[in-house]
Structure 1
Amino acid sequence: MPILLTAFSVQKEWEGCTWSVPSIDELANAIAIIAVGQSLHVEKILHVAGLAANPTTSGAVKGALKLLSSGNIIHRDGWMFQVMSWLAAQLRTPGALMNTPQMIRADKGLDGLQVSIDGTGKVTAVVLFEDKATTNPRSTVTAKVWPEFKEFETGENEHLITAEVTSLLTGARHPNPQDAVADIMWAQARRYRVSITDEQSTDQSQARLFKGYADTVPGVVQRRRAEVFEVTGLRAWMDGLAALAITKAQAIPIK
Protein backbone atom coordinates (compact mmCIF):
# COMPACT_ATOMS: atom_id res chain seq x y z
CA MET A 1 0.00 0.00 0.00
CA PRO A 2 1.72 3.25 -1.10
CA ILE A 3 -0.52 5.57 0.94
CA LEU A 4 -2.69 4.93 3.99
CA LEU A 5 -5.73 7.15 4.60
CA THR A 6 -7.00 7.88 8.11
CA ALA A 7 -10.25 9.84 8.26
CA PHE A 8 -10.42 13.05 10.30
CA SER A 9 -12.32 12.33 13.50
CA VAL A 10 -13.95 15.51 14.79
CA GLN A 11 -14.03 18.14 12.05
CA LYS A 12 -17.55 19.31 11.20
CA GLU A 13 -16.96 21.97 8.52
CA TRP A 14 -15.06 19.74 6.08
CA GLU A 15 -14.38 16.07 5.34
CA GLY A 16 -10.89 14.70 5.04
CA CYS A 17 -8.06 12.29 5.71
CA THR A 18 -4.53 12.24 7.02
CA TRP A 19 -2.08 10.47 4.72
CA SER A 20 0.81 8.32 5.82
CA VAL A 21 3.22 6.22 3.77
CA PRO A 22 3.50 2.64 5.09
CA SER A 23 5.80 1.63 2.23
CA ILE A 24 8.01 4.27 0.60
CA ASP A 25 9.21 1.50 -1.72
CA GLU A 26 5.69 0.97 -3.09
CA LEU A 27 5.12 4.72 -3.38
CA ALA A 28 8.40 5.21 -5.26
CA ASN A 29 7.47 2.35 -7.58
CA ALA A 30 4.09 3.94 -8.37
CA ILE A 31 5.72 7.34 -8.99
CA ALA A 32 8.30 5.77 -11.30
CA ILE A 33 5.64 3.97 -13.33
CA ILE A 34 3.62 7.18 -13.69
CA ALA A 35 6.78 9.10 -14.61
CA VAL A 36 7.33 6.82 -17.62
CA GLY A 37 3.73 7.46 -18.72
CA GLN A 38 1.88 4.43 -17.36
CA SER A 39 -0.63 6.07 -15.00
CA LEU A 40 -3.50 3.89 -16.20
CA HIS A 41 -1.47 0.81 -15.33
CA VAL A 42 -0.96 2.16 -11.81
CA GLU A 43 -4.74 2.13 -11.33
CA LYS A 44 -4.59 -1.65 -11.74
CA ILE A 45 -1.53 -2.01 -9.53
CA LEU A 46 -3.30 -0.18 -6.69
CA HIS A 47 -6.03 -2.78 -6.57
CA VAL A 48 -4.33 -5.97 -7.81
CA ALA A 49 -1.34 -7.16 -5.81
CA GLY A 50 1.78 -8.34 -7.59
CA LEU A 51 1.49 -6.37 -10.81
CA ALA A 52 4.66 -4.75 -12.12
CA ALA A 53 5.30 -2.01 -14.65
CA ASN A 54 4.84 -2.80 -18.30
CA PRO A 55 7.99 -2.69 -20.44
CA THR A 56 8.76 0.82 -21.61
CA THR A 57 11.16 2.63 -23.94
CA SER A 58 14.55 4.14 -23.25
CA GLY A 59 13.14 7.54 -24.21
CA ALA A 60 10.35 7.23 -21.65
CA VAL A 61 12.86 6.35 -18.94
CA LYS A 62 15.05 9.29 -19.94
CA GLY A 63 12.05 11.62 -19.65
CA ALA A 64 11.13 10.14 -16.27
CA LEU A 65 14.64 10.71 -14.93
CA LYS A 66 14.52 14.31 -16.08
CA LEU A 67 11.15 14.77 -14.37
CA LEU A 68 12.43 13.25 -11.13
CA SER A 69 15.73 15.11 -11.04
CA SER A 70 14.52 18.57 -12.01
CA GLY A 71 16.81 21.44 -11.12
CA ASN A 72 13.81 23.18 -9.57
CA ILE A 73 13.27 21.08 -6.46
CA ILE A 74 10.00 22.81 -5.58
CA HIS A 75 8.56 21.89 -8.98
CA ARG A 76 9.82 18.32 -8.65
CA ASP A 77 8.31 17.96 -5.20
CA GLY A 78 5.10 19.58 -6.40
CA TRP A 79 4.77 17.05 -9.20
CA MET A 80 5.43 14.08 -6.92
CA PHE A 81 2.89 15.43 -4.45
CA GLN A 82 0.30 15.73 -7.21
CA VAL A 83 0.93 12.06 -7.96
CA MET A 84 0.46 11.24 -4.27
CA SER A 85 -2.80 13.20 -4.30
CA TRP A 86 -4.01 11.24 -7.32
CA LEU A 87 -3.06 7.95 -5.67
CA ALA A 88 -4.91 8.93 -2.48
CA ALA A 89 -8.02 9.86 -4.50
CA GLN A 90 -7.84 6.56 -6.38
CA LEU A 91 -7.63 4.65 -3.11
CA ARG A 92 -10.52 6.55 -1.55
CA THR A 93 -12.81 6.32 -4.58
CA PRO A 94 -11.78 3.31 -6.72
CA GLY A 95 -12.95 3.55 -10.31
CA ALA A 96 -13.84 7.22 -10.04
CA LEU A 97 -13.63 9.33 -13.17
CA MET A 98 -10.60 11.59 -12.77
CA ASN A 99 -7.84 13.01 -14.89
CA THR A 100 -4.42 11.39 -14.83
CA PRO A 101 -1.39 13.11 -13.28
CA GLN A 102 0.03 15.69 -15.63
CA MET A 103 3.57 15.22 -16.90
CA ILE A 104 4.24 18.96 -16.67
CA ARG A 105 3.16 21.56 -14.14
CA ALA A 106 -0.62 21.66 -14.07
CA ASP A 107 -2.61 24.63 -15.30
CA LYS A 108 -3.66 27.17 -12.72
CA GLY A 109 -6.34 25.79 -10.45
CA LEU A 110 -6.44 22.39 -12.14
CA ASP A 111 -4.02 20.24 -10.18
CA GLY A 112 -6.60 17.47 -10.42
CA LEU A 113 -10.23 16.88 -11.31
CA GLN A 114 -12.80 14.25 -10.38
CA VAL A 115 -16.25 13.89 -11.90
CA SER A 116 -19.23 11.94 -10.56
CA ILE A 117 -22.11 10.92 -12.82
CA ASP A 118 -25.39 9.22 -11.98
CA GLY A 119 -27.08 6.29 -13.71
CA THR A 120 -28.55 8.55 -16.36
CA GLY A 121 -25.18 10.03 -17.29
CA LYS A 122 -25.88 13.32 -15.53
CA VAL A 123 -22.91 15.06 -13.89
CA THR A 124 -23.66 15.34 -10.19
CA ALA A 125 -20.32 16.56 -8.82
CA VAL A 126 -17.11 18.11 -10.13
CA VAL A 127 -14.30 18.07 -7.57
CA LEU A 128 -11.40 20.51 -8.09
CA PHE A 129 -8.04 19.57 -6.56
CA GLU A 130 -5.44 21.94 -5.14
CA ASP A 131 -2.25 20.12 -4.15
CA LYS A 132 0.51 21.92 -2.24
CA ALA A 133 3.83 20.45 -1.04
CA THR A 134 5.03 23.26 1.21
CA THR A 135 6.94 24.05 4.37
CA ASN A 136 4.50 26.91 5.10
CA PRO A 137 1.08 25.25 5.03
CA ARG A 138 -1.14 27.86 6.67
CA SER A 139 0.18 30.81 4.68
CA THR A 140 -0.08 28.72 1.49
CA VAL A 141 -3.72 27.94 2.23
CA THR A 142 -4.63 31.56 2.89
CA ALA A 143 -2.52 33.17 0.14
CA LYS A 144 -2.91 30.60 -2.65
CA VAL A 145 -5.62 28.00 -2.07
CA TRP A 146 -8.49 30.12 -0.77
CA PRO A 147 -8.07 32.73 -3.56
CA GLU A 148 -8.13 29.95 -6.19
CA PHE A 149 -11.30 28.50 -4.73
CA LYS A 150 -12.92 31.93 -4.56
CA GLU A 151 -12.21 32.45 -8.27
CA PHE A 152 -13.89 29.18 -9.13
CA GLU A 153 -16.84 30.04 -6.89
CA THR A 154 -17.43 33.21 -8.92
CA GLY A 155 -17.42 31.21 -12.15
CA GLU A 156 -14.42 33.14 -13.44
CA ASN A 157 -12.58 29.99 -14.56
CA GLU A 158 -15.61 27.93 -15.51
CA HIS A 159 -14.35 27.55 -19.07
CA LEU A 160 -11.31 25.65 -17.76
CA ILE A 161 -13.50 23.24 -15.82
CA THR A 162 -15.85 22.82 -18.77
CA ALA A 163 -13.01 21.84 -21.08
CA GLU A 164 -11.55 19.37 -18.57
CA VAL A 165 -14.90 17.77 -17.75
CA THR A 166 -15.74 17.42 -21.45
CA SER A 167 -12.39 15.74 -22.06
CA LEU A 168 -12.92 13.32 -19.16
CA LEU A 169 -16.43 12.40 -20.28
CA THR A 170 -15.26 11.91 -23.85
CA GLY A 171 -12.45 9.64 -22.70
CA ALA A 172 -14.94 7.63 -20.64
CA ARG A 173 -17.15 7.25 -23.75
CA HIS A 174 -20.05 9.20 -22.35
CA PRO A 175 -22.78 9.19 -25.04
CA ASN A 176 -23.33 12.98 -24.96
CA PRO A 177 -20.44 14.77 -23.23
CA GLN A 178 -21.28 18.20 -24.63
CA ASP A 179 -24.92 17.94 -23.51
CA ALA A 180 -23.87 16.62 -20.09
CA VAL A 181 -21.56 19.58 -19.52
CA ALA A 182 -24.15 22.05 -20.81
CA ASP A 183 -26.69 20.68 -18.31
CA ILE A 184 -24.43 20.96 -15.25
CA MET A 185 -25.75 23.19 -12.51
CA TRP A 186 -22.31 24.53 -11.64
CA ALA A 187 -23.28 26.12 -8.34
CA GLN A 188 -24.51 22.76 -7.04
CA ALA A 189 -21.90 20.56 -8.73
CA ARG A 190 -18.69 22.35 -7.77
CA ARG A 191 -16.76 20.77 -4.93
CA TYR A 192 -13.23 21.31 -3.68
CA ARG A 193 -10.33 19.24 -2.33
CA VAL A 194 -7.19 20.79 -0.85
CA SER A 195 -4.26 18.45 -0.16
CA ILE A 196 -1.27 19.85 1.68
CA THR A 197 1.82 18.87 3.66
CA ASP A 198 2.19 19.62 7.36
CA GLU A 199 4.43 18.42 10.17
CA GLN A 200 1.41 17.27 12.15
CA SER A 201 -2.21 16.37 11.55
CA THR A 202 -4.17 16.59 14.77
CA ASP A 203 -7.68 17.85 15.44
CA GLN A 204 -6.17 21.15 16.59
CA SER A 205 -3.70 21.57 13.72
CA GLN A 206 -6.38 20.77 11.14
CA ALA A 207 -8.69 23.38 12.66
CA ARG A 208 -5.94 26.02 12.43
CA LEU A 209 -4.78 24.97 8.96
CA PHE A 210 -8.20 25.01 7.29
CA LYS A 211 -9.78 27.88 9.22
CA GLY A 212 -11.95 29.90 6.84
CA TYR A 213 -12.78 27.01 4.50
CA ALA A 214 -16.55 27.33 5.03
CA ASP A 215 -16.35 31.10 4.42
CA THR A 216 -14.45 30.51 1.18
CA VAL A 217 -16.68 27.64 0.00
CA PRO A 218 -20.11 27.98 1.61
CA GLY A 219 -22.76 25.29 1.57
CA VAL A 220 -22.97 21.65 2.63
CA VAL A 221 -19.92 19.98 4.14
CA GLN A 222 -19.57 17.66 1.11
CA ARG A 223 -18.38 20.68 -0.90
CA ARG A 224 -15.23 20.92 1.23
CA ARG A 225 -12.60 18.19 1.39
CA ALA A 226 -9.22 18.53 3.08
CA GLU A 227 -6.24 16.15 3.04
CA VAL A 228 -3.01 16.36 5.05
CA PHE A 229 0.22 14.47 4.40
CA GLU A 230 1.95 14.40 7.77
CA VAL A 231 5.70 14.65 7.14
CA THR A 232 8.72 16.01 9.02
CA GLY A 233 11.59 17.46 7.00
CA LEU A 234 9.62 17.71 3.76
CA ARG A 235 12.45 18.53 1.33
CA ALA A 236 14.80 15.85 2.66
CA TRP A 237 11.96 13.30 2.60
CA MET A 238 11.11 14.21 -1.00
CA ASP A 239 14.81 13.95 -1.93
CA GLY A 240 14.81 10.37 -0.68
CA LEU A 241 11.57 9.57 -2.48
CA ALA A 242 12.85 10.99 -5.77
CA ALA A 243 16.13 9.07 -5.53
CA LEU A 244 14.28 5.81 -4.91
CA ALA A 245 11.81 6.52 -7.75
CA ILE A 246 14.76 7.12 -10.10
CA THR A 247 16.17 3.71 -9.16
CA LYS A 248 12.76 2.13 -9.80
CA ALA A 249 12.41 3.84 -13.18
CA GLN A 250 15.87 2.65 -14.25
CA ALA A 251 14.86 -0.92 -13.37
CA ILE A 252 11.76 -0.97 -15.62
CA PRO A 253 12.37 -3.38 -18.54
CA ILE A 254 13.03 -1.77 -21.92
CA LYS A 255 11.13 -3.22 -24.85
Structure 2
Amino acid sequence: MFISLKPSKTEECNFTEWSIDTRSRSKLVEVIAYLYLRQEENAQRVINALEPRWRVSKGKVAENVVRKLTAPHAKDINLLRSGNDKEKEQAQNRINTSIIHRDGLLFQHISWVVARTSIPTGYMTSPHVRQADKGFDGFIIELDGEKKGINRITLCEDKASAKPRQLISSSVWPDVEAIRRGERDDEILADLLTLLKSIPDINAEAAVDEVLWEEARAFRVAVATGENRRKSGEFHHIVAGFKAVAGGSLQSRTAGVLPFDDVRVGLAHLASDVMAKVKEITGV
Protein backbone atom coordinates (compact mmCIF):
# COMPACT_ATOMS: atom_id res chain seq x y z
CA MET A 1 0.00 0.00 0.00
CA PHE A 2 1.32 3.43 -1.03
CA ILE A 3 4.98 2.34 -0.80
CA SER A 4 6.21 -1.09 -1.85
CA LEU A 5 9.06 -2.73 0.06
CA LYS A 6 11.48 -5.05 -1.72
CA PRO A 7 13.71 -6.96 0.72
CA SER A 8 17.23 -8.01 -0.13
CA LYS A 9 19.84 -9.94 1.82
CA THR A 10 22.71 -8.32 3.69
CA GLU A 11 24.42 -9.19 6.96
CA GLU A 12 24.29 -5.55 8.01
CA CYS A 13 20.52 -5.41 8.61
CA ASN A 14 17.05 -6.26 7.39
CA PHE A 15 17.24 -4.18 4.22
CA THR A 16 14.41 -3.08 1.93
CA GLU A 17 14.29 -0.92 -1.15
CA TRP A 18 11.23 1.32 -1.19
CA SER A 19 9.23 2.48 -4.19
CA ILE A 20 6.19 4.72 -4.36
CA ASP A 21 3.27 2.87 -5.95
CA THR A 22 2.12 5.10 -8.82
CA ARG A 23 -1.40 3.68 -8.58
CA SER A 24 -1.84 4.91 -5.01
CA ARG A 25 0.45 7.95 -5.11
CA SER A 26 -2.49 10.34 -4.73
CA LYS A 27 -3.50 8.59 -1.50
CA LEU A 28 0.07 8.82 -0.21
CA VAL A 29 -0.03 12.55 -0.92
CA GLU A 30 -3.30 12.81 1.00
CA VAL A 31 -1.91 10.94 4.01
CA ILE A 32 1.16 13.18 4.11
CA ALA A 33 -0.98 16.31 3.77
CA TYR A 34 -3.04 15.33 6.82
CA LEU A 35 0.13 14.53 8.76
CA TYR A 36 1.55 17.98 8.01
CA LEU A 37 -1.74 19.49 9.20
CA ARG A 38 -1.37 17.54 12.49
CA GLN A 39 -4.47 15.49 11.69
CA GLU A 40 -3.01 12.07 12.35
CA GLU A 41 -6.41 10.46 12.83
CA ASN A 42 -7.44 11.53 9.33
CA ALA A 43 -4.12 10.25 7.96
CA GLN A 44 -4.89 6.88 9.56
CA ARG A 45 -8.41 6.94 8.14
CA VAL A 46 -7.01 7.36 4.62
CA ILE A 47 -4.59 4.48 5.27
CA ASN A 48 -7.57 2.37 6.39
CA ALA A 49 -9.50 3.35 3.23
CA LEU A 50 -12.01 5.35 5.26
CA GLU A 51 -13.31 8.83 4.53
CA PRO A 52 -11.46 11.53 6.51
CA ARG A 53 -13.51 13.69 8.84
CA TRP A 54 -13.74 17.41 8.14
CA ARG A 55 -11.79 19.49 10.63
CA VAL A 56 -11.27 23.23 10.70
CA SER A 57 -7.61 24.15 10.36
CA LYS A 58 -6.69 26.24 13.40
CA GLY A 59 -4.96 29.60 13.17
CA LYS A 60 -2.31 29.71 10.46
CA VAL A 61 -1.45 26.01 10.53
CA ALA A 62 -2.18 25.58 6.82
CA GLU A 63 -0.20 28.66 5.83
CA ASN A 64 2.74 27.47 7.94
CA VAL A 65 2.60 24.05 6.30
CA VAL A 66 2.63 25.61 2.83
CA ARG A 67 5.68 27.66 3.83
CA LYS A 68 7.52 24.54 5.03
CA LEU A 69 6.74 22.75 1.78
CA THR A 70 8.02 25.69 -0.27
CA ALA A 71 11.68 25.79 -1.29
CA PRO A 72 13.34 27.90 -2.43
CA HIS A 73 11.53 31.06 -1.39
CA ALA A 74 10.68 33.78 -3.91
CA LYS A 75 12.72 36.44 -2.12
CA ASP A 76 15.92 34.41 -2.45
CA ILE A 77 15.23 33.58 -6.10
CA ASN A 78 14.84 37.30 -6.85
CA LEU A 79 18.06 38.15 -4.99
CA LEU A 80 19.90 35.42 -6.89
CA ARG A 81 18.86 37.10 -10.12
CA SER A 82 19.26 40.78 -9.25
CA GLY A 83 21.31 41.14 -6.04
CA ASN A 84 24.92 42.12 -5.68
CA ASP A 85 27.62 39.45 -5.33
CA LYS A 86 27.29 39.18 -1.55
CA GLU A 87 23.49 39.06 -1.69
CA LYS A 88 23.63 36.38 -4.37
CA GLU A 89 25.99 34.25 -2.31
CA GLN A 90 23.81 34.57 0.80
CA ALA A 91 20.67 33.86 -1.23
CA GLN A 92 22.23 30.72 -2.73
CA ASN A 93 23.18 29.46 0.72
CA ARG A 94 19.63 30.01 1.98
CA ILE A 95 18.21 28.31 -1.11
CA ASN A 96 20.39 25.24 -0.55
CA THR A 97 19.47 25.11 3.14
CA SER A 98 15.74 25.55 2.50
CA ILE A 99 15.70 22.67 0.02
CA ILE A 100 17.61 20.39 2.40
CA HIS A 101 15.26 21.24 5.28
CA ARG A 102 12.12 20.80 3.15
CA ASP A 103 13.28 17.44 1.83
CA GLY A 104 14.37 16.18 5.23
CA LEU A 105 11.03 16.95 6.85
CA LEU A 106 9.07 15.57 3.89
CA PHE A 107 11.00 12.31 3.97
CA GLN A 108 10.31 11.94 7.69
CA HIS A 109 6.61 11.97 6.79
CA ILE A 110 7.16 9.36 4.06
CA SER A 111 9.11 7.20 6.51
CA TRP A 112 6.28 7.50 9.05
CA VAL A 113 3.82 6.16 6.47
CA VAL A 114 6.09 3.17 5.78
CA ALA A 115 6.40 2.45 9.50
CA ARG A 116 2.68 2.87 10.10
CA THR A 117 1.69 0.50 7.29
CA SER A 118 4.41 -2.11 7.90
CA ILE A 119 4.01 -2.20 11.72
CA PRO A 120 0.26 -1.55 12.10
CA THR A 121 0.16 -2.63 15.75
CA GLY A 122 3.07 -0.40 16.74
CA TYR A 123 2.83 2.91 18.56
CA MET A 124 4.92 5.67 17.09
CA THR A 125 5.72 9.31 17.45
CA SER A 126 4.33 11.75 14.90
CA PRO A 127 6.70 13.33 12.36
CA HIS A 128 8.50 16.45 13.55
CA VAL A 129 6.80 19.82 13.29
CA ARG A 130 9.95 21.91 13.04
CA GLN A 131 12.41 21.65 10.19
CA ALA A 132 15.93 20.54 11.11
CA ASP A 133 14.70 19.42 14.54
CA LYS A 134 17.37 17.90 16.73
CA GLY A 135 17.12 14.50 18.37
CA PHE A 136 15.64 11.27 17.07
CA ASP A 137 13.45 11.36 13.99
CA GLY A 138 11.01 8.94 15.57
CA PHE A 139 10.22 6.11 17.98
CA ILE A 140 8.30 2.92 17.38
CA ILE A 141 7.14 0.92 20.39
CA GLU A 142 5.91 -2.65 20.04
CA LEU A 143 4.16 -4.08 23.09
CA ASP A 144 3.80 -7.67 24.29
CA GLY A 145 0.68 -9.73 23.67
CA GLU A 146 -1.07 -8.39 26.76
CA LYS A 147 -0.11 -4.80 25.90
CA LYS A 148 1.39 -4.33 29.35
CA GLY A 149 5.10 -4.54 28.61
CA ILE A 150 7.53 -3.45 25.92
CA ASN A 151 8.86 -5.93 23.38
CA ARG A 152 10.83 -3.53 21.22
CA ILE A 153 11.81 0.14 21.11
CA THR A 154 12.95 1.19 17.65
CA LEU A 155 14.85 4.46 17.27
CA CYS A 156 14.49 5.92 13.79
CA GLU A 157 16.86 8.06 11.74
CA ASP A 158 15.56 9.46 8.44
CA LYS A 159 17.79 11.21 5.91
CA ALA A 160 17.25 12.66 2.43
CA SER A 161 20.56 13.23 0.69
CA ALA A 162 22.26 13.29 -2.70
CA LYS A 163 25.36 11.94 -0.91
CA PRO A 164 23.88 9.51 1.64
CA ARG A 165 26.96 7.43 2.40
CA GLN A 166 28.88 10.48 3.55
CA LEU A 167 25.94 11.63 5.69
CA ILE A 168 25.39 8.21 7.26
CA SER A 169 29.06 7.88 8.17
CA SER A 170 29.46 11.38 9.56
CA SER A 171 26.10 11.81 11.33
CA VAL A 172 24.04 8.65 11.82
CA TRP A 173 26.71 6.18 12.91
CA PRO A 174 28.14 8.56 15.57
CA ASP A 175 24.57 9.04 16.89
CA VAL A 176 24.05 5.28 17.12
CA GLU A 177 27.38 4.82 18.90
CA ALA A 178 26.49 7.58 21.38
CA ILE A 179 23.18 5.85 22.09
CA ARG A 180 24.93 2.54 22.72
CA ARG A 181 27.27 4.26 25.16
CA GLY A 182 24.23 5.51 27.07
CA GLU A 183 24.92 9.18 26.36
CA ARG A 184 21.32 9.82 25.31
CA ASP A 185 19.46 7.58 27.73
CA ASP A 186 17.73 10.56 29.38
CA GLU A 187 16.44 11.76 26.00
CA ILE A 188 15.23 8.27 25.11
CA LEU A 189 13.52 7.92 28.47
CA ALA A 190 11.75 11.28 28.19
CA ASP A 191 10.39 10.58 24.71
CA LEU A 192 9.56 6.99 25.59
CA LEU A 193 7.50 7.99 28.63
CA THR A 194 5.67 10.67 26.64
CA LEU A 195 4.66 8.15 24.00
CA LEU A 196 3.76 5.42 26.48
CA LYS A 197 1.50 7.76 28.45
CA SER A 198 -0.61 8.21 25.31
CA ILE A 199 -1.35 4.48 25.18
CA PRO A 200 -4.48 3.40 27.08
CA ASP A 201 -4.29 0.91 29.95
CA ILE A 202 -0.52 0.76 30.31
CA ASN A 203 1.51 1.78 33.33
CA ALA A 204 4.19 3.76 31.52
CA GLU A 205 6.72 3.94 34.34
CA ALA A 206 6.30 0.28 35.28
CA ALA A 207 6.78 -0.75 31.64
CA VAL A 208 9.96 1.33 31.41
CA ASP A 209 11.27 0.00 34.73
CA GLU A 210 10.93 -3.58 33.52
CA VAL A 211 12.42 -3.17 30.04
CA LEU A 212 16.04 -4.08 29.37
CA TRP A 213 17.58 -1.52 26.99
CA GLU A 214 20.01 -3.87 25.29
CA GLU A 215 17.39 -6.54 24.61
CA ALA A 216 14.53 -4.25 23.55
CA ARG A 217 16.38 -1.52 21.65
CA ALA A 218 16.47 -1.56 17.86
CA PHE A 219 17.59 0.87 15.17
CA ARG A 220 15.93 1.84 11.89
CA VAL A 221 17.73 3.92 9.25
CA ALA A 222 15.81 5.20 6.23
CA VAL A 223 17.31 7.15 3.34
CA ALA A 224 15.95 8.95 0.30
CA THR A 225 18.54 9.37 -2.44
CA GLY A 226 19.18 9.24 -6.18
CA GLU A 227 19.40 6.27 -8.53
CA ASN A 228 22.98 7.32 -9.27
CA ARG A 229 23.92 5.97 -5.82
CA ARG A 230 23.01 2.40 -6.79
CA LYS A 231 26.00 0.04 -7.00
CA SER A 232 25.84 -3.42 -8.58
CA GLY A 233 22.07 -3.11 -8.57
CA GLU A 234 21.83 -2.43 -4.82
CA PHE A 235 22.07 0.29 -2.18
CA HIS A 236 23.58 -1.89 0.53
CA HIS A 237 26.82 0.10 0.61
CA ILE A 238 24.94 3.12 2.01
CA VAL A 239 24.46 1.36 5.35
CA ALA A 240 27.84 -0.41 5.46
CA GLY A 241 29.02 -0.55 9.06
CA PHE A 242 25.51 -0.78 10.55
CA LYS A 243 26.25 -4.10 12.25
CA ALA A 244 29.52 -2.84 13.74
CA VAL A 245 28.10 0.36 15.20
CA ALA A 246 24.70 -0.93 16.34
CA GLY A 247 25.52 -4.47 17.44
CA GLY A 248 22.67 -6.72 18.48
CA SER A 249 20.85 -9.31 16.42
CA LEU A 250 19.96 -8.92 12.75
CA GLN A 251 16.34 -8.30 13.77
CA SER A 252 17.39 -5.22 15.72
CA ARG A 253 18.76 -3.46 12.63
CA THR A 254 16.47 -2.27 9.84
CA ALA A 255 17.24 -0.06 6.86
CA GLY A 256 15.35 1.20 3.84
CA VAL A 257 16.27 3.26 0.80
CA LEU A 258 13.80 5.19 -1.36
CA PRO A 259 15.50 6.06 -4.68
CA PHE A 260 14.42 8.77 -7.10
CA ASP A 261 15.84 9.49 -10.55
CA ASP A 262 17.00 12.72 -8.88
CA VAL A 263 16.30 12.94 -5.15
CA ARG A 264 15.90 16.73 -5.05
CA VAL A 265 13.64 16.83 -8.10
CA GLY A 266 11.59 13.85 -6.92
CA LEU A 267 10.98 15.31 -3.47
CA ALA A 268 10.26 18.74 -4.95
CA HIS A 269 7.50 17.23 -7.11
CA LEU A 270 6.07 15.37 -4.13
CA ALA A 271 6.21 18.51 -1.96
CA SER A 272 4.35 20.44 -4.65
CA ASP A 273 1.61 17.80 -4.77
CA VAL A 274 1.32 17.69 -0.97
CA MET A 275 1.10 21.49 -0.88
CA ALA A 276 -1.71 21.43 -3.44
CA LYS A 277 -3.55 18.83 -1.34
CA VAL A 278 -3.12 20.91 1.84
CA LYS A 279 -4.66 23.87 0.03
CA GLU A 280 -7.52 21.71 -1.23
CA ILE A 281 -8.23 20.31 2.23
CA THR A 282 -8.08 23.67 4.02
CA GLY A 283 -9.15 26.11 1.33
CA VAL A 284 -6.17 28.43 1.89
TM-score by length of 2: 0.82
Deviation string, structure 1 residues 210-245 (Cα, Å, up to 9, x no partner) = 211111011210111001001121111111111111
Deviates more, 1:21-30 or 1:176-185: 21-30
In the TM superposition, what is the alpha-carbon distance from 1:202 to its structure 2 partner?
Answer: 6.7
Q: Relative to structure 1, is the Cα distance of residues 251 and 107 closer, same or farther in structure 2, using a 3 angstrom cutoff? A: closer
Aligned equivalent of 1:126, options 153, 158, 170: 153
Q: Relative to structure 1, is the Cα distance of residues 149 and 251 closer, same or farther in structure 2, using a 3 angstrom cutoff? A: same
Aligned equivalent of 1:146, options 155, 159, 173: 173
Q: Relative to structure 1, is the Cα distance of residues 245 and 15 closer, same or farther in structure 2, using a 3 angstrom cutoff? A: same
2:45 maps to what in 1? 44
1:14 aligns with 2:13: yes
Larger Cα Rg: Structure 1 or Structure 2? 2
Work out the percentage of aligned pairs sharing the same amino acid.
Answer: 27
Greater relative contact order structure (CA < 8 Å, 6+ sep) = 1
- Aligned residue pairs total 252
Q: What is the alpha-carbon distance in structure 2 between the residues aligned to residue 119 and residue 95 of structure 1? A: 11
Q: Relative to structure 1, is the Cα distance of residues 4 and 92 closer, same or farther in structure 2, using a 3 angstrom cutoff? A: same
1:69 maps to what in 2? 70
1:224 aligns with 2:248: no
Structure 2 gaps, min length 5? 74-97
C-alpha contact (below 8 Å) 1:98/1:113 kept by paired residues:
yes
Residues 162-201 of structure 1 aligned to structure 2 (within 5 Å)? 162-200=189-227
In the TM superposition, what is the alpha-carbon distance from 1:45 to its structure 2 partner?
Answer: 1.2
In the TM superposition, what is the alpha-carbon distance from 1:203 to its structure 2 partner?
Answer: 6.9
1:99 maps to what in 2? 125
Q: What is the alpha-carbon distance in structure 2 between the residues aligned to residue 237 and residue 132 of structure 1? A: 14
C-alpha contact (below 8 Å) 2:153/2:217 kept by paired residues:
yes
TM-score by length of 1: 0.91
Structure 1 gaps, min length 5? none
1:83 aligns with 2:83: no
C-alpha contact (below 8 Å) 2:12/2:239 kept by paired residues:
no
In the TM superposition, what is the alpha-carbon distance from 1:68 to its structure 2 partner?
Answer: 1.3
In the TM superposition, what is the alpha-carbon distance from 1:166 to its structure 2 partner?
Answer: 0.8
Q: What is the alpha-carbon distance in structure 2 between the residues aligned to residue 194 and residue 75 of structure 1? A: 18
1:158 aligns with 2:194: no
In the TM superposition, what is the alpha-carbon distance from 1:12 to its structure 2 partner?
Answer: 3.0
Q: What is the alpha-carbon distance in structure 2 between the residues aligned to residue 131 and residue 160 of structure 1? A: 18
1:248 aligns with 2:277: yes
